């Protein structure tokens, strides 16, 4: 979605995670962490995290700006990304990876397998419910999460809400602002790719 919003033409290659392609020797040669995404730059060097990839793409093509233009915008968006990743996305991952049969022996990302812990699935679900309870206030009456401009924070929150469906979590019924925001952001062309 970030690439689409930037209007960049970047070759993408699907990684078949259901069949653990990210664990293959070929993929591991690119990314020893065995995680996705990985960005292979023109010089062959690889960026191994979403945060690094976003920073790189923003520097390569600054417009439209998705990580903030002013110092304040950059700080606000970085804070929102941290909140969404640590409070929401990690909770979904904790719940899903510790509950799903497809992740037996693979409860964490990376090259080392770890057993599932059912209590972590329950804790992740509880953390996610707590995070979701605050989304409506986080958005408030703003058009987008960080204000009047679409940003990477909107992308991450949209991804979080969609991923939460995997653990049967949805926005609270009374989350009027969040539902308005979700309809707006999910209707963007980049969200449909």
Question: What's the CATH code of the domain at 169?
Answer: 1.20.1050.10
Residues 14 and 36 in one domain: yes
Domain span including residue 49: 2-60
Whole-number Å distance between alpha carbons of 17 and 168: 21
Whole-number Å distance between alpha carbons of 117 and 130: 20
Does residue 174 sit within a domain?
yes
**Confidence (pLDDT) at 142:** 97
Residues 54 and 75 in one domain: no
Residues 119 and 160 in one domain: yes
* Of residues 21, 163, 189, 156, the one with CA closest to residue 78: 156
- The CB density around residue 31, as the number of other CB atoms within 10 Å, is 20
* Cβ(145)–Cβ(157) below 8 Å: yes
For all residues of the chain together, what is the average pLDDT?
96
**Confidence (pLDDT) at 18:** 86
Residues 175 and 105 in one domain: yes
Domains identified in the chain, total number: 2
Give the end of a domain, one of 35, 60, 85: 60
For 12-49, write each residue's pLDDT tens digit: 999 998 889 999 999 999 999 999 999 999 999 999 99
For 70-104, write each residue's pLDDT tens digit: 999 999 999 999 999 999 999 999 999 999 998 99
Coil/strand/helix, residue 40: strand
- The CB density around residue 127, as the number of other CB atoms within 10 Å, is 19
**Confidence (pLDDT) at 52:** 97
Does residue 172 sit within a domain?
yes
Is 90 exceeded by the pLDDT of residue 193? Answer: no
Token pair of 42, please?
A: 């023109």
Does residue 124 sit within a domain?
yes
Residues 85 and 177 in one domain: yes
Residues 92 and 56 in one domain: no
Across 74-88, b (16+ Cβ under 10 Å) vs e yields: bebbbebbebbeebb
Does residue 23 sit within a domain?
yes
Percent of the chain with pLDDT over 70: 100
Q: What share of the chain is helix, strand, coil (3-state, %, to 5)?
A: 55, 5, 40
């Amino acid at each position: 979605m970030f690439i689409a919003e930037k209007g960049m033409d970047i070759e993408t290659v699907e990684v078949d995670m259901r069949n653990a392609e990210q664990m293959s020797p070929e993929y591991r040669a690119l990314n020893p962490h065995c995680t996705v995404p990985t960005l292979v730059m023109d010089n062959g060097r690889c960026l191994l995290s979403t945060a690094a990839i976003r920073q790189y793409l923003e520097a390569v093509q600054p417009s439209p700006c998705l990580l903030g233009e002013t110092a304040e915008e950059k700080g606000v968006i970085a804070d929102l990304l941290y909140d969404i990743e640590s409070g929401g996305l990690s909770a979904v991952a904790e719940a899903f990876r510790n509950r799903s049969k497809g992740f037996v022996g693979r409860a964490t990302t990376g090259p080392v397998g770890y057993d599932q812990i059912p209590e972590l699935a329950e804790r992740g679900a509880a953390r996610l419910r707590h995070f979701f309870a605050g989304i409506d206030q986080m958005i408030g009456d703003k058009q987008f999460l960080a204000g009047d401009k679409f940003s990477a924070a909107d992308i991450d929150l949209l991804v979080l809400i969609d991923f939460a469906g995997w653990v049967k979590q949805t926005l609270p019924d009374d989350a009027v602002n969040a539902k308005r925001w979700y309809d707006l952001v999910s209707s963007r062309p980049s969200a449909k790719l």
